[in-house]
Amino acid sequence: MQERVYNFSAGPAVLPLPVLEEAQRDLVALPGVGISVLEISHRSKTFQMIIDEAEANLRKLMNIPDNYKVLFLQGGASLQFGMLPMNLLPAGKSADYIVTGTWSKKAMSEAKTQGNVRCVWNGSETNFDHLPTPEELQANLDPNAAYAYYTSNETIQGVQFPTEPEVGEVPLICDASSEFMYKPLDISKYGCIYACAQKNCGPAGVTIVIMREDLVNASPDNLVSVLSYKKMSDAGSMLNTPPCFAIYVFLLVTEWMLKTVGGIDKMYELNKRKAALLYDVIDQSNGFYVGHARKECRSLMNVPFRTANAELEQKFLEEAKNEGLISLGGHRSVGGFRASIYNAMPLEGVQKLADFMEDFHRRND
């Protein structure tokens, strides 16, 4: 087998090596079943066990209260941009959007195709490098909104909410795609929290939605069935064929988190250590490296930065690649570099990048 390199891609992204190895080992024949998970009926007892166990592990890891449903859906996080207002934004009501980066901006513009939407805060003036203050939010939130929407980690700008915004009694909806399962949360604060799997918890193809029961039950009757949370939930996410393989790999990731990492508290500790390695190099570089997000809201998952001297960018990327550090190019809207250091990125990978950055600085100062 070719040696693996460290993959800092924003998504689809790095998966835990033990997960890949187990999927590979069992790919041709699941133990005790004799056929591949790729070939099995979603109506079989085996697949039912896979999806049930995936949900049970997730409930355990995230401590999800009983009055919340877990759904495994298709269409990516982007479908949720439309499905949420289709289900939860009735005529005569409006929804509040907190726009802190590319993904919340996109979610808001998609929601506008479905109903009345208010932008309560927009960080575009400074190219989304910070978050609203609680006071700015309080001044603008609508206490009668159908819901308040935010993106807990902006994957492109590397801006992350350290805690949930305070929105009173209004149901809080969160796109957690690029941080899902990175730290313990109090799920009871949310009306809904959702994530596509391919950033922090699995391969592309499945989107995990955790939603309070009363909101699930609020779906109007006139929707196409697969776009109704209520109908999908009543059918155990299997109104139609689910993304079986993606759900299976998600199950392996949850097992890895429970057994190898040792739970979500341990995961969080590790994630903090990893991010500190990179931010320390940036902060101690005397301006050689410049981070995008302001310090108080820097992401533990996506670290966008640049070199003050833009002429060094190509050289940095080429040399990093030669060291086995790949996919470090920044998004075109921010420029420079972006290191995505999701749950599955090992500490050694981040350490290697931090060492490379220091060495590159020394050689090019």
Active site residues: 103, 175, 199
Residue 66 exposed, middle or buried by CB count within 10 Å (0-12, 13-18, 19+): exposed
CA-wise closest residue to 96 among 72, 121, 78: 121
Question: Binder to ligand PLP among 9, 46, 48, 78 (CB under 6 A)?
Answer: 78
Which three-class secondary structure state does DSSP give residue 357?
helix
Over the window 253 to 282, marking each residue x when it contacts ligand PLP by CB under 6 A and - when it does not, the resulting string is ------------------------------
Q: Whose CB is nearest to ligand PLP?
A: 76
Of 75-83, 132-140, 246-254, 259-267: span binding ligand PLP (CB under 6 A): 75-83
Least distance (Å) between residue 78 CB and ligand PLP: 3
**Could you give the 3-state DSSP secondary structure of residue 353?**
helix
- Give me the DSSP letters along 103-155: HHHHHHHHHTTTSEEEEEEE-GGGTS-S---HHHHHHH--TT-S-EEEESEET
Q: Are strands 94-99 and 148-151 parallel, antiparallel or unpaired?
A: parallel
How many residues touch ligand PLP under the rule CB under 6 A: the total is: 12
Selected binder of ligand PLP within 57, 87, 160, 178 (CB under 6 A) = 178
Please say whether the beta carbons of 30 and 44 come within 8 A. Answer: no
Q: Where are the beta strands (DSSP E) in the chain?
A: 6-7, 68-73, 94-99, 116-122, 148-151, 153-154, 159-160, 172-175, 192-196, 207-212, 289-291, 302-307, 325-326, 337-340
199 interacts with ligand PLP by CB under 6 A: yes
Please state the closest distance from residue 270 (CB atom) to ligand PLP, in A. Answer: 21
Q: Which is nearer to ligand PLP, 78 or 351 (CB)?
A: 78
By CB neighbour count within 10 A (0-12 exposed, 13-18 middle, 19+ buried), where does 96 fall?
A: buried
Task: Say which residues have a Cβ less than 8 Å from residue 250's Cβ, sequence separation at least 6.
Answer: 54, 72, 197, 201, 202, 206, 208
Query: If binding is defined by CB under 6 A, does position 157 make contact with ligand PLP?
Result: no
- DSSP code of 226? G
Instruction: Assess 175 for contact with ligand PLP (CB under 6 A).
Output: yes
Report the nearest approach of ligand PLP to the CB of residue 162 (Å): 16
Q: Give the C-alpha separation, 48 to 189, whole Å.
A: 30
Tokens linked to 233: 């939930």
Q: Does 155 bind ligand PLP (CB under 6 A)?
A: yes
Nearest CB to ligand PLP, comparing residues 101 and 336: 101
Question: Applying CB under 6 A, which of residues 12, 76, 324, 346 lies at the interface with ligand PLP?
Answer: 76
Among 57, 87, 157, 177, binds ligand PLP (CB under 6 A): 177
- Smallest distance, Å, CB 121 to ligand PLP? 17
Residues from 13 through 72 that contact ligand PLP (CB under 6 A): none
259 DSSP assignment: I
Please report how close the Cβ of residue 102 comes to ligand PLP at its closest, in angstroms: 8
Question: What is the pairing mode between strands 302-307 and 325-326?
Answer: unpaired
Least distance CB 77 / ligand PLP (angstroms): 3
CB of 94 to ligand PLP, least distance (A): 22
330 lies in the site for ligand PLP, by CB under 6 A = no
Can you give the binding site for ligand PLP, defined by CB under 6 A? 11, 76-78, 103, 151, 155, 175, 177-178, 196, 199
